């Protein structure tokens, strides 16, 4: 009987943390998808020999990878409960034909933990 009570207490404590764990998993997934989109944009700019950008829309909670000539190449939305905590002033990250970019930091928030994606002038994308 005591063993069953102990299992119930441990299971109850784990269930209380479940929303926090799920939010952390959603945040990690969103950070990985957005950083992959930024790397794809840099690769596309190098391949095309022309600028490519990722536009960030905090009002709608999505980003778009697009050639600067216009067409949207890819679009993705943030999962529920995840939002942009901070964005570059231009609300975009643009990669040039040689893969360089302006410095940019994008922060994603899950109502507690915050993860950052940093793009340096050489176009390197890092997750912090």
Spatial separation of the C-alpha atoms in residues 70 and 98, rounded to whole Å: 20
The structure tokens listed for 26 are: 């959603």
Taking residues 29-55, report their average pLDDT.
97
CA angle (49, 107, 15) in 5-degree steps: 130
In this prediction, residue 7 carries a pLDDT of: 61
What's the CATH code, domain 2-127?
A: 3.55.40.10
Q: Give the residue with greater pLDDT, 20 vs 123.
A: 123
Q: Which one, of 23, 18, 30, lies nearest residue 84 by Cα? A: 30
Spatial separation of the C-alpha atoms in residues 65 and 87, rounded to whole Å: 16
State pTM to two decimals.
0.87
The answer to whether 112 and 20 are in contact (CB under 8 A) is yes
Q: Give the residue with greater pLDDT, 11 vs 60.
A: 60
Spatial separation of the C-alpha atoms in residues 27 and 30, rounded to whole Å: 5
Q: What is the pLDDT of residues 56-113, one digit of tens each?
A: 999 999 999 999 887 899 999 999 999 999 999 999 999 999 999 999 999 999 998 8
Spatial separation of the C-alpha atoms in residues 50 and 29, rounded to whole Å: 29
Average pLDDT score over the chain: 91
Delimit the domains of the chain by residue range. 2-127
């Amino acid at each position: 009987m005591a063993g069953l009570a102990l299992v119930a207490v441990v299971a109850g404590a784990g269930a209380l943390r479940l929303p926090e764990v799920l939010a952390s998993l959603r945040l990690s997934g969103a950070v990985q998808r957005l950083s992959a989109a930024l790397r794809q944009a840099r690769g596309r700019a190098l391949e095309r020999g022309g600028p490519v950008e990722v536009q960030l829309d905090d009002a709608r909670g999505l980003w778009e990878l697009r050639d600067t000539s216009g067409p949207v190449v890819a679009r993705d939305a943030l999962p529920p409960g995840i939002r942009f905590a901070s964005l570059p002033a231009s609300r975009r990250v643009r990669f040039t034909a040689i893969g360089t970019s302006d410095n940019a930091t994008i922060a994603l928030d899950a109502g507690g933990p915050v993860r950052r994606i940093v793009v340096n002038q050489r176009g390197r994308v890092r997750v912090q």
